[in-house]
């Protein structure tokens, strides 16, 4: 079987790779539907990190003894693997390891944004952004006087691009989610990138929800920056990546100061290292990078086209089954099933509080996330304070959806 084909995933076999799925909760098998928050880790990722600690743990870029050189080779090899996964032209120079996608976005704003945007310049965002792609820009606007603009949503939760050309007038950068963590909306990124570049703007893509769920190639899409996190793509917590064009990284000042990010230091000045090390001050997350590379290898073995096909089919099944069994009593937010919808199912069950919904679902072994999902402005647009969100990964199947709906029916009965 060739990775990347649309041959269906063997979910029964795949599930055995994830130890946590062997757990029972309240006497029921665990049904993990919180992948949008953090995905589960397969055994190859856990084993790679354990093997690193057991055989060659050392600090990187410093020691000349054997295990230190081995650790450095694994760390830098992970950078190349992660970069290739998203189509980087020069992955050894264009991937910066960070703590998570939030730090990657802050790096762009604090380094590129602070150095290049001046009062009166405009940044175009959207109403569906995660706080990680909103608050840093708000902070910069407070300090520098830049203007923030927003693309609005239509009634189906898609971006309204009818006035895109006017919205881009005077814009220096467009920063948007490549898939909404609340609505599952997948915007037409290539179309937006082409319009932005024609207007002289750069494009920052928040890929935290996109990179783990469908093929993502920065060269094909034409974005200038991409932020994503390992823990949402079956890797460890504590590490993420910023991809940026090499010429942009070359022009950006350091984000943090300290060891590892310098070429030379004197008492009155310093010279930063070349990218990407310029942006990686201090001891980096070495074991996590090893785990990140193992997660990339695992996902490539599944084939991202197959992951996308499986999750699209399951999303379509879930949307149809929820409508059939719960009817008007359950409101699903976001576009209908289709090519511009990912496997995120944010719902409101009548007037039942999302936290109550989640607690009832827990009794069925079902893991979902209640809350505003770090998207308070979007909640206000939707007219709710919170939703209960189920989110799909490659280890989920129709039985998981059926159990979810069984729990939702019980929550409806309990709070009727």
Catalytic residues: 374
365: phi > 0 → left, psi -120 to 50 → alpha, else beta; which?
Answer: left
Cis peptide before 260 (omega within 30 of 0): no
CB of 225 closer than 8 Å to CB of 243:
yes
Distances (CA, A) of 14 to 60, 223, 229: 34, 32, 22
Q: Among 135, 87, 134, 136, which residue's Cα sits nearest to residue 110?
A: 136
Q: Is 9 left (phi over 0), alpha (psi -120 to 50) or beta?
A: beta
Could you tell me the two tokens for 66? 């054997």
Beta carbons of 55 and 77 less than 8 angstroms apart = no
Q: How far apart are CA 154 and CA 217, in angstroms?
A: 27
Q: What span, in angstroms and rounded, lies between the C-alpha atoms of 398 and 310? A: 11
């Amino acid at each position: 079987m060739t990775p990347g084909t649309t041959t269906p995933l063997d979910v029964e076999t795949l599930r055995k790779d994830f130890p946590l799925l062997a757990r029972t909760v309240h006497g029921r098998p665990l049904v993990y539907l919180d992948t949008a928050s953090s995905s589960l880790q397969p055994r190859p990722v856990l084993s790679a990190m354990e093997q690193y600690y057991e055989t060659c743990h050392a600090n990187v870029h410093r020691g000349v003894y054997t295990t230190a050189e081995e650790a450095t080779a694994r760390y830098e090899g992970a950078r190349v693997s992660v970069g290739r996964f998203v189509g980087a032209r020069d992955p050894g120079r264009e991937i910066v390891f960070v703590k998570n996608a939030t730090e990657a976005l802050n790096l762009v704003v604090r380094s590129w944004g602070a150095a290049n945007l001046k009062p009166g310049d405009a940044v175009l965002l959207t109403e569906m952004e995660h706080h990680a792609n909103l608050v840093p820009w708000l902070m910069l606007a407070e300090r520098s006087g830049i203007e923030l603009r927003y693309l609005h949503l239509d009634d189906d939760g898609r971006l309204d691009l009818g006035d895109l050309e006017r919205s881009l007038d005077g814009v220096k950068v467009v920063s948007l989610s490549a898939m909404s963590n609340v609505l599952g909306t997948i915007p037409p990124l290539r179309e937006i990138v082409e319009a932005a570049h024609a207007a002289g703007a750069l494009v920052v893509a928040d890929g935290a929800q996109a990179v783990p769920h469908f093929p993502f190639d920065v060269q094909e899409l034409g974005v200038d920056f991409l932020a994503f996190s390992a823990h949402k793509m079956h890797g460890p917590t504590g590490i993420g990546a910023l991809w940026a064009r090499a010429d942009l990284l070359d022009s950006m000042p350091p984000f943090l100061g300290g060891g590892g990010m310098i070429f030379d230091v004197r008492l009155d000045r310093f010279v930063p290292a070349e990218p990407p090390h310029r942006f990686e001050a201090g001891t980096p997350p070495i074991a996590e990078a090893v785990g990140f590379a193992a997660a990339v290898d695992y996902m490539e073995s599944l084939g991202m086209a197959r992951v996308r096909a499986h999750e699209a089919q399951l999303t379509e099944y879930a949307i149809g089954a929820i409508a059939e069994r719960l009817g008007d009593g359950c409101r699903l937010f976001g576009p209908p099933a289709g090519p511009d919808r990912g496997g995120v199912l944010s719902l409101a069950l009548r007037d039942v509080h999302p936290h109550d919904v989640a607690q009832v679902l827990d009794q069925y072994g079902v893991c979902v996330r209640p809350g505003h999902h770090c998207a308070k402005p979007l909640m206000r647009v939707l007219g709710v304070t919170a939703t209960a969100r189920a989110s799909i990964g490659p280890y989920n199947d129709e039985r998981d959806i059926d159990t979810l709906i069984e729990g939702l029916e019980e929550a409806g009965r309990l709070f009727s």
